[in-house]
């Protein structure tokens, strides 16, 4: 059983492999309260929600979304070898006509049907489930936890960041039988979404990385963000355990929402998984100790110390010996778009293009300033999105600390970063070069004229800003391939 994400342009094709008799799918749906009418029988190798890359041997789930209606592609899915179909009530007759002899499952809502199948698969495989939420750091913590736990257990983890109402069910369905621990992210931008994911995944351990100003457009306030993230720890069974950020301003709030035993990680005295004896590591990153065990990570940024602390806390709950935890963390590098360091023609790029919010931007800038460069330091920053009414204020605040950071230039992209740009320009330590662009390719052309060997460039912005275009364009202009340096 495997999990695959196939990139097709800017779109992701989600698949999950379950390898079961289709009769099991009907039973799972009926057990969840759906009335299903099915015909025929088949072995289903995978579940997919996209017909574009082939559907041979798969259950094709016809989902509706803002980008399209999967029911419009049933004929294509069948022609490509779909083994069974999950369709919306009222669409069954047309599906059966397009797929004579194939099992067709007709339910009121295909998303709920997909989630019900996933919940049944989770019950069937019955792993320990570690779920991770928070405003930032979820994917890094997930990867660290998976790396540590895989030293002792058969572990299956979310691929990429498939952490929403579709991604979590598909992650569960991709879990092989025999999986001992499932490590999954849980993201949300609306109240109640994490609680719903918990009904499907039934986590045993819930990790909250931090509470910060993300998705404020939907949650309104930081308290709203904290409330949403606390749905994870509030959903844990009495036999479960929570892992909480001791240094976070919402630590006490999260404690109040926790009904289970909990472990707190952090640098402060409030942590019982405490990160101590922190020193900068030769070659980059830090050495530190937790519970007397010496450890190291190979990336700059104090936030990565906290990520390692969260992973160590989970490792302790699942009885991983501290030396094994230390070895696994030492070997865990940066992940795409989350602090990967590239060399392009002698210029160092720190790729933080996956996403951005005020807390993660500050952490990235702080980490960037700890790094050593022979030449100039440049910040290339895109809009931080989904901040709602607070967007202008938060971009202004970001401009203040970026303008005081001590860099040689700040170049911004988008609509919201106009405020960051203006705020940075009036700071006492503002750099001489501060420019703004509305087009990434034009920005890259301008930046290329400024850069010299030995310079360092931090590139960061929200996912929709596609800030990786800047690095790609510099690579083309310098007529060289990037080399991963960290």
Which CATH architecture fits 3-107?
3-Layer(aba) Sandwich (3.40)
Please determine, for residue 1, whether its predicted confidence score (pLDDT) is greater than 60: no
Model confidence pLDDT, tens digit, residues 422-462? 999 999 999 999 999 999 999 999 999 999 999 999 999 99
Question: Residue 21 has what pLDDT?
Answer: 83
What DSSP designation does 317 have? H
Structure tokens at 480: 């060289």
Judge whether 203 and 236 are in contact, CB under 8 Å.
yes
Strands 205-208 and 128-133: parallel
Q: Which two tokens stand for residue 204?
A: 């045993």
Please tell me whether residue 106 adopts helix, strand or coil conformation: strand
Span 372-392, average pLDDT: 94
Question: In CATH terms, is domain 126-330 a member of 3.40.1190.10?
Answer: yes
Looking only at the bridges linking them, the beta strands covering 286-290 and 347-352 are unpaired
Of residues 245 and 284, more confidence is placed in 245
Instruction: State what percent of residues in the chain have pLDDT above 90.
Output: 72
In which residue ranges of the chain is CATH 3.40.1390.10 found?
3-107
Residue 12 scores a pLDDT above 70: no
For the packed helices 302-317 and 322-330, what is the interaxial angle rounded to 10 degrees?
140
Section 71-75 average pLDDT: 92
**Cβ 161 vs Cβ 139: under 8 Å:** yes
Whether 180 shows a pLDDT value over 50: the answer reads yes
Parallel, antiparallel or unpaired: strands 58-61 and 340-344: unpaired
pLDDT at 41 over 90: no
Contact yes or no for 321/329 (Cβ under 8 A): no
State which H helix or E strand residue 110 sits in.
helix 110-125
Q: Kind and range of the H or E element at 469?
A: helix 468-477
For residue 262 the two structure tokens come to 């909990």
pLDDT-based confidence at 11, cuts 50/70/90? Answer: very low
Q: pTM, whole model, 2 decimals?
A: 0.87
363-374 mean pLDDT: 93
Q: How confident is the model at residue 8 (pLDDT cuts 50, 70, 90)?
A: very low
Please give the Cα distance from 465 to 456 (Å, whole number). Answer: 21
Residue with tokens 């720190």: 350
- Give the pLDDT mean for 150-159: 93
Q: Where, residue-wise, is CATH 3.40.1190.10 in the chain?
A: 126-330
pLDDT > 80? residue 486: no
Would you state the pLDDT for residue 7?
Answer: 27
pLDDT at 477: 95
CA–CA separation, 339 and 297 (whole Å): 13
Question: For the residues 31-58, what does the mean pLDDT come to?
Answer: 84
Axis-axis angle for helices 391-403, 358-370 (nearest 10): 10
| Sheet of 104-107, strand order | 3-8, 11-21, 43-48, 58-61, 84-88, 104-107
Average pLDDT of the chain to the nearest whole number: 91
Could you please report the per-residue DSSP string of 185-217?
Answer: E---SSTTHHHHHHHHH--SEEEE----S-SHH
What is the CATH code of the structural domain delimited by 340-484?
A: 3.90.190.20
pLDDT of 6 reads 26
pLDDT at 398: 97
Tokens matching residue 124: 């069937």
Residues 6+ apart with CB under 8 A from 10: none
* Residue 396 pLDDT > 70: yes
Q: Per mean pLDDT, which range of 8-12, 160-164, 359-363 is the poorest?
A: 8-12
**Token pair listed for 9:** 């342009």
| Residue-level pLDDT at 347 | 97
**pLDDT score at 246:** 97
Pick the more confident residue, 213 or 114.
114
Report d(CA 422, CA 420) in Å as an integer: 6
**Segments of the chain assigned to CATH 3.90.190.20:** 340-484
Other residues' Cβ atoms within 10 Å of the Cβ of residue 123? 11
Say whether pLDDT at 133 is over 90.
Answer: yes
Q: Are 14 and 31 in contact (CB under 8 A)?
A: no
* pLDDT tens digit sequence for 234-254: 999 999 999 999 999 999 999
pLDDT recorded at residue 175? 92
The 10 Å Cβ neighbour count of residue 68 is 11
| pLDDT average, residue stretch 470-476 | 96
């Amino acid at each position: 059983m495997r999990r695959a994400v196939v990139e097709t342009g800017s779109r992701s094709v989600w698949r999950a492999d379950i390898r079961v008799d289709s009769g099991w799918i009907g039973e799972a749906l009926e057990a969840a309260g759906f009335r299903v009418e099915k015909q025929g029988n088949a072995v289903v190798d995978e579940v997919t929600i996209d017909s574009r890359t082939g559907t041979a041997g798969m259950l094709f789930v016809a989902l509706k979304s803002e980008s399209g209606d999967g029911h419009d592609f049933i004929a294509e899915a069948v022609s490509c070898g779909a083994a069974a179909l999950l369709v919306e009530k009222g669409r069954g007759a047309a599906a059966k006509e397009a797929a004579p002899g194939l099992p067709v499952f007709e339910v009121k809502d295909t998303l709920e049907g997909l989630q019900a199948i996933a919940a049944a698969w989770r019950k069937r495989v019955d792993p320990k489930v570690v779920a991770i939420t928070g405003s930032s750091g979820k994917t890094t913590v997930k990867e660290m936890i998976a790396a540590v736990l895989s030293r002792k257990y058969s572990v299956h983890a979310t691929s990429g960041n498939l952490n929403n109402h579709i991604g979590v069910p598909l992650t569960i369905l991709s879990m092989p039988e025999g999986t001992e621990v499932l490590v999954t992210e849980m993201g949300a931008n609306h109240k109640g979404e994490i609680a719903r994911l918990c009904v499907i995944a039934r986590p045993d351990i819930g990790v909250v990385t931090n509470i910060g100003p993300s998705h404020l457009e939907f949650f309104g306030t930081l308290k709203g963000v904290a409330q949403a993230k606390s749905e994870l720890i509030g959903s844990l069974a009495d036999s479960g355990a929570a892992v909480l950020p001791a240094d976070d301003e919402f630590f006490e709030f999260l404690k109040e929402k926790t009904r289970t035993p909990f472990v707190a990680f952090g640098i402060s005295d409030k942590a019982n998984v405490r990160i101590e004896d922190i020193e900068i590591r030769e070659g980059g990153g830090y050495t530190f100790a937790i519970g007397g065990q010496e450890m190291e990570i190979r990336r700059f940024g104090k936030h990565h110390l906290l990520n390692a602390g969260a992973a160590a806390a989970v490792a302790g709950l699942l009885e991983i010996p501290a030396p094994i935890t230390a070895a696994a963390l030492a070997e865990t590098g940066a992940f795409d778009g989350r602090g990967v360091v590239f060399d392009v023609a002698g210029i160092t790029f720190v790729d933080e293009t996956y996403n951005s919010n005020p807390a993660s931007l500050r952490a990235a800038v702080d980490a960037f300033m700890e790094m050593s460069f022979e030449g100039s330091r440049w910040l290339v920053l895109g809009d931080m999105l989904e901040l709602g009414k607070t967007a202008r204020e938060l971009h202004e605040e970001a401009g203040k600390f970026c303008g005081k950071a001590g860099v040689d230039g700040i170049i911004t992209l988008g609509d919201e970063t106009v405020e960051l740009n203006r705020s940075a320009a009036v700071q006492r330590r503002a750099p001489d070069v501060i420019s703004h662009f509305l087009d990434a390719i034009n920005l890259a052309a301008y930046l290329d004229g400024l850069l010299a060997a030995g310079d360092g460039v931090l590139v960061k912005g929200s996912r929709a800003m596609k800030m990786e275009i800047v690095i790609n364009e510099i690579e083309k202009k310098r007529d060289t391939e990037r080399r991963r340096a960290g």
